[in-house]
Amino acid sequence: MDNGTFNCQFCDFSSRHFYKVIKHLKLTHAHEQNFKVLCNIANCRRSYKMVRKLVDHIRMKHKDFAKQYLPLRRNLNTGGPVSGPIVGGTDMEEELQDGEQSSDEDGSDEDGSDEDGSDEDEPIPPNYEKLTANLFLEARQKYKVSGAACTFIGQKIQSFLETSSDRVVDHHAKVLRDEGINCPQLQGVVQASNVMLTEALGKYCIPRHFENIAKQSPNFVESCRVTLGTKTGRVKIDRYRYIPVLKSLQVLLKHEDVLTEVLRSHESQDECIESFMDGDVCHTNDLFLEHPTALKLFLYYDDFQVANPLRNRPDFKLGAFYFQLGNIHPKYRSKQHVVQLVCLCKTVDLKYYGLSAVLARFIQDMKVLETDGIKFQHEGQQFHFYGTIALVFGDNLAQHQIGGFPENFSTSLRLCRFCSGHRDLVTSSIRREDFTWRTINSYDQQAAAVKLSKSLSSIYGVKCSSSLNQLQYFHVVGSLPSDLSHDLFEGGVVSNTLATVISQLVRDGCFSLQHLNSKIAVFEYAGCDGGNRIPPVPQQLAQFKIKSTISETWLLLRMLPMLIGDCVDEGNDIWEVLLKLMDMVDMVCARSYSKGEIAFMHEKIFQFHEYYHDIFEVALKPKDHFTLHYATETLMFGPLVHCSTTVYERKHNVFKQICNRSKNRKNILKTLAEGHQYSQYLAHEKEHFLEDEVQYFKGKTVTVGMLDRATQNVLTPFIDQTESVFECESILKNGVKYSMGCAVVTSYQNDQYTFGKVEKVYCRNGSDYLFCKVLRTINFERHFHAYHVEATQEVEILQIGDLMDFHPLGIYNVNKKDYITLKYFIGIKE
């Protein structure tokens, strides 16, 4: 601290407010890598990779400093890596005690406040109108309370406050008199505050009023009505709803956690493929090379039905376009409110007018984003971001529709959007080398030829040039990744293979369908597997099929060896098909790869198809063929599990719920778009947009010294014996629940994974510790496709961030042996 100001050691920024230096470092230097934050208060040499951890340390170890310079009522929101020591000087605490607070070097604060700092000391009065409006809006949008119920509740509370205010004043006056305090102004103060609150309750419990409060907020992005035209022979004008993308991006980037994610480089430091940032598409895009922090948009399209599908009313079948920021870490992109709506239209209008008409406004905004970018000011700093579409997600039908490829997979001669293989070759060859990849030049030439002669469409496998190709930095060739959800689990390779294997094993007399269903009925799920349930399989062997959801099919694949593995002899050829399928799925669904592991993945895919089609002698289906490109796609797009459409399909449920609650479906598009934007507004109003609060279950506060000796021995390196911790049975963090009895992958030793069984969870000062019993890995039993483990008396303490993989696993007992089956392959980092 120099002359009453705190200085940044990496630039000329200075401020007399310590928390503003913290924010400056977060926004300006947080994206830099391989740096740590040095405390440097009172010669403290502790360093941290996360600013949030530093702030926690200051509050614990430098309480006087924190009390003076880190006021609790301020939102610091300081997560993320920073690039070095925060402030200079050898004895910060002593200098702060000797010096007086003064203005910054330029004579004024960054936000234009007065020199005396009165804006920091005066409390901000509560905005009763906004608080009340947001309360009832959240009750309606999140908790499904009707508008009439909101009005009733608000008016009842208003009446209660009006009738009880006099009694409250009398009670407080009596208490003060008993303490010898005379306060004649108390009644006026309480009544004035009560009047503001009751007036807000009476007015803003009514839907139209609390909706107006939301619409007046800068965090609300209102949908626009866009006219398409009039169909031939019709009078009605067709329209769709569009949410301005540029404004949505500006509102998103005003969140510090989102802005930090955009500024931070997410490229892997060990040459692994962990995200889109590590893929060839990102590394070869001219805009992303010129502007490393450019906004990388993931676009998604799908159709869904918001009314009873049995009635088949075309007005209620809608097409939805969503987008996400690819700059955000994948662990945050699974949250529904992170998915932003682009436009809603009726499917019949989309087919009649075409994608180019519906996406015209969106493409126009994307061109502005590519050439001019968006500018905004945050915390006194100016930011300028360019961006474009990075990838387009969707099921195979939607992606072929957007890309201008044939949508009929049964009759098309060239049915693959990745290669130009003929149908006869696609259904017979499993060698990747037999297929030639499409290129941008060949696509453009073929689209131009098809435009002159439609008969060439079946020859080239291109119907037309995609409207998205109008963008300068995007082309559909090499930007439409495979969707594992539909290729594998929903009517895909996994569900078809499971049906074939189970029906053949039943015909061979290994077990019956009734026996399998009885096993499913009494099966005890462990760990996070309990969130899903395997449904009973059909009882009839004729035309036996697996018709389950994506998560149910994946769970059945993993648990089938636990259910009936002891009914099948080892070395059974049909059972080997299942095991090779599990090998392939484990590799395909991994979260991280080295270049060698990607080659290993392709080998597993080839081995499965070769063995499966040798045993059953059937032709390849289009989805079988798409899996042959997975290794190349992983190099291009990053792990394909991050390209899954599951999170977007869950977003459809938001619109279905709004439609079910609404009694007015005359203008269904406006009703759905506005309802969705109200929910997004509430998400933008929260302090943290990306991270959820950590939840603890069934816990109590204990002193470390009162715990058993084994627990003390592993906790004391982190927490002193005299300090207290919160002990609980389970914790929910970043959407993942760690509970007593579940297993976690701790390390990789002696060519085997090592596991720990969670016994307790301990929490202190924002740090969470898993108290685990060490499990000894005996071997990997291929017949059950699981690791045989045994419990030991050894215990260890682990932080969640130090786990080899974040996903908790179940421990299953088969024939008096404990087994753990991985959900996917976990890469080994050197």
Give the integer Cα–Cα distance in Å for 59 and 357.
Answer: 56
Most confident of 89-98, 168-177, 713-722: 713-722
pLDDT reading at 184 higher than 50: yes
Task: Over range 181-198, report the average pLDDT.
Answer: 73
**Stretch 296-322: mean pLDDT, rounded?**
84
Q: Are 586 and 566 in contact (CB under 8 A)?
A: no
pLDDT above 70 (res 185): no
SS3 at position 319: strand
* pLDDT of amino acid 108: 34
Q: Strand pairing of 295-305 and 387-393?
A: parallel
What pLDDT is stored for residue 801 in this prediction?
A: 84
What's the CA gap between 211 and 335, in Å, rounded? 24
- pLDDT over 70 (residue 325): yes
pLDDT of residue 712: 86
Q: Give Cα 106 distance to the centre of its chain.
A: 42
Span 754-782, average pLDDT: 91
pLDDT reading at 52 higher than 80: no
pLDDT at residue number 673:
95
Reading the block at residue 441, the tokens are: 């030049």
Of 288-297, 538-547, 660-669, 780-789, the range with the lowest mean pLDDT is 660-669
pLDDT of residue 125: 62
d(Cα 182, Cα 184) in Å, to the nearest integer? Answer: 6
Instruction: Among 85-94, 518-527, 532-541, 546-555, name the one with the lowest average pLDDT.
Output: 85-94
pLDDT at 339 over 80: yes
The mean of the pLDDT values for the chain is 86
Confidence of residue 783 (pLDDT cuts 50, 70, 90): very high
Tokens describing residue 658:
């709004």
User: Range with the lowest mean pLDDT among 161-170, 317-326, 511-520?
Assistant: 161-170
Bigger pLDDT: 76 vs 764: 764
Ramachandran category for residue 753: left, alpha or beta (phi over 0 → left; psi -120 to 50 → alpha): beta
Q: Rounded to the nearest 10 degrees, how much is the dihedral formed by the CA atoms of 129, 131, 137, 138?
A: 180
For the chain, percent of residues with pLDDT exceeding 70: 89
Residue pLDDT, tens place only, 53-99: 777 778 777 877 877 777 553 333 333 333 333 333 333 333 333 33
What is the C-alpha radius of gyration for the chain, rounded to an integer number of angstroms? 30
Residue 322 has pLDDT above 70, yes or no: yes
Predicted local distance difference test score (pLDDT) of residue 83: 33
pLDDT for 12: 73
The CA–CA distances, whole Å, from 108 to 348, 392, 738 equal 59, 48, 49
Tell me the pLDDT band of 30, cut-offs 50, 70 and 90: low
Give the residue from 413, 371, 584 showing the smallest Cα distance to 494: 584
Both tokens assigned to 177: 């008199």
Give the bridge partners for 5, in sequence order. 2
pLDDT value, residue 76: 36
Strands (E), 178-235: 224-230
Is the Cβ–Cβ distance between 346 and 240 less than 8 Å? yes
Cβ atoms within 10 A of the Cβ of 348, count?
A: 15
pLDDT at position 203 over 70: yes
Helices 18-29 & 51-61 angle (0-180, nearest 10)? 160
Q: Give pLDDT tens digits for 394-453.
A: 999 999 999 999 998 888 899 999 999 999 999 999 999 999 999 999 999 999 999 999
pLDDT tops 90 at residue 8 = no
| 357 pLDDT more than 60 | yes
CA distance 455 to 449: 10
Burial of 21-39, coded b for 16+ CB within 10 Å and e otherwise, reads bbbbbbbbbbbbeebebbb
Residue 302: its pLDDT value, please? Answer: 95
Task: Kindly indicate the confidence band of residue 309, based on its pLDDT and cuts at 50, 70 and 90.
Answer: low
Give rounded-to-5 percent helix, strand, coil for the chain: 45, 20, 35
Phi-psi region of 646 (alpha: psi -120 to 50; beta: other; left: phi over 0): alpha
What beta strand segments (E) does 426-563 contain? Answer: none
- Please report, for residues 179, 183, 452, the alpha-carbon distance to residue 187 in angstroms, rounded to integers and kept in the order given: 17, 9, 84
Long-range contacts of 305-313 (CB under 8 A, 24+ apart): 306/655, 306/656, 306/659, 306/668, 306/672, 307/659, 307/665
pLDDT at 27: 67
Looking at 467-549, list the stretches that DSSP marks H as alpha helix, in order from N- to C-terminal side.
Answer: 484, 493-507, 513-522
| pLDDT at residue 89, rounded to an integer | 33
pLDDT at 389 over 60: yes
More confident residue, 115 or 364: 364
CB-based contacts of 683, cutoff 8 Å, min separation 6: 337, 689
The rounded Cα 348 to chain-centroid distance in angstroms is 31
Instruction: Please give the pLDDT value at position 718.
Output: 80
How far is residue 183's CA from residue 239's CA, in Å, rounded to a whole number?
A: 63
Q: Quick check: 2 pLDDT over 70?
A: no
pLDDT value, residue 337: 94
pTM of the model: 0.83
- Dmax over CA atoms of the chain, in Å, equals 97
86-100, 672-686, 806-820: segment of lowest average pLDDT: 86-100
Phi, psi of 40 (to 5 degrees): 65, 15
